[in-house]
Amino acid sequence: MNLPNANASLYTNQNFCTKNVEPKYKMNPFLNIKANYPMKNLSYPHINNNIILNNNSQLKLQKNKTFSIPFDMEPKIDSKYFYVKCFNNMNNTNDYSKNKNFKIFNKSDIQSNGRILCEPIIPKNNYIPQYFKNNINNSLCKIYLEKCGRVIIFDLDDTLIPTYWIRSVLFSKCHLNQDEALRELKKEIKLNKKYNFESTACSVIHLAKSMSHTIFIVTNARSDKWIDTVKWLFPNFSKLLDEHNIPIIRTEQYMEPSPLNVFEYFRYWMNAKKKKFDEILKEHWAFYYQYITNKIDFISLGDTEFEEVATYELQSSNKNIIKKAFNIKVQTGLSFEDFIGQLKLIQVALSIITKESYSYKYLALSSSVQIKMFA
């Protein structure tokens, strides 16, 4: 959704920012959220190394509770100590306090110092298979904790999907009705290899998934029909989202103001995004807070100022939760080839900002991809 034509500078978004922020969410935010994702049980048969899951392990995912948990974690919240259970076979009922290969840490020490949950006691000069296995456990645990500290939210249109190009092609086929034009478009996408952008879009999702447990797509699309059309046009991309349990969520829309009233129109669509951002952030914090060693890095991506201002206001009102907030702004109106190049730059941007050493308030990777940091 783009703003109406108005002579406003790109850096005048502070005019749309109110000083009074919304109160924090005080109830389960996902009770009423509408996600385009069915309720299902997911299993992971491809993971069976006796470190994470066995073949019989399943994650029961209710509708709109779409966090991907790679293994079962049941920390003893009410006790002073909790044991390392997450990197062992779920069927193993041994007393971990008697296991000489693991230490028991104080829960507060782990959260305050960001130490890993498990640590082998076997001396470094004792290179036996068990030592290497424990090293793998330590690495997996460190990766898991890092992913707990990030939330990534994508826009859909002109960010992950070349919406402008799709509409241009459909407009060129205006002599056909809409259904016929869509079928012709899908046939062209299937037959012409230069239209194969799905592999690049899937690479973006794979990269994001390696950085965070919580990945969402939040769109201001006006109807579910468009989302269904996107899934139909790009089945491989849609399949990947289903496999990783990444939902496409439409914002709540009611009593839309007139586009002639630029301020109210902007605040309407920006607040729609910010509300969903806030719900996802609070749900992530409530779910993973025991494994978040410091605060959360919040990352949003989109082609409008809605995401940018929503991210800024979200960080301003949640400084006790958010350490750094990033907005990766991309460009709309690109040709298909340029859009694929933009997707590749998105991967570069994600890789850059997830480094602890990143400290730039603003960084332009190109004329179409810019990074802004709020801290």
Give me the chain's average pLDDT, please.
74
Q: Would the pLDDT of 52 be above 60?
A: no
Token pair 């939330």: residue: 151
Tokens of 158: 């002109």
Confidence label for 164 from pLDDT (cuts 50, 70 and 90) = very high
Torsion, CA 11, CA 278, CA 219, CA 203, rounded to 10: 90
Q: Are strands 214-219 and 150-154 parallel, antiparallel or unpaired?
A: parallel
DSSP 53: -
Name the 3-class secondary structure at 195.
Answer: helix
Mean pLDDT of 280-291: 92
Q: What pLDDT shows up at residue 113? A: 46
Q: Which of 64, 66, 212, 69 is nearest to 151 (CA)?
A: 212
Cβ-based neighbours of 232, under 8 Å, separated by 6 or more: 182, 186, 238
Cβ-based neighbours of 105, under 8 Å, separated by 6 or more: 81, 115, 117, 119
The span from the CA of 49 to the CA of 168, in Å, is 49
Separation in Å, CA 21 to CA 315, 325, 344:
10, 16, 35
Rounded (5°) CA angle 169-208-27? 100
DSSP 330-346: --SS--HHHHHHHHHHH
Domains and CATH numbers, the chain: 23-36+149-162+197-374 (3.40.50), 71-148 (no CATH)
Q: Please write the tens of the pLDDT for every residue from 314-367.
A: 999 999 999 999 999 999 999 988 999 999 999 999 999 988 778 899 999 999
Q: What pLDDT shows up at residue 25? A: 41
Q: Would the pLDDT of 16 be above 70?
A: no
Q: Please write the tens of the pLDDT for every residue from 248-285.
A: 999 998 888 888 999 999 999 999 999 999 999 999 99
Q: Residue 136: which H helix or E strand, with range?
A: helix 129-148
pTM of the model: 0.66
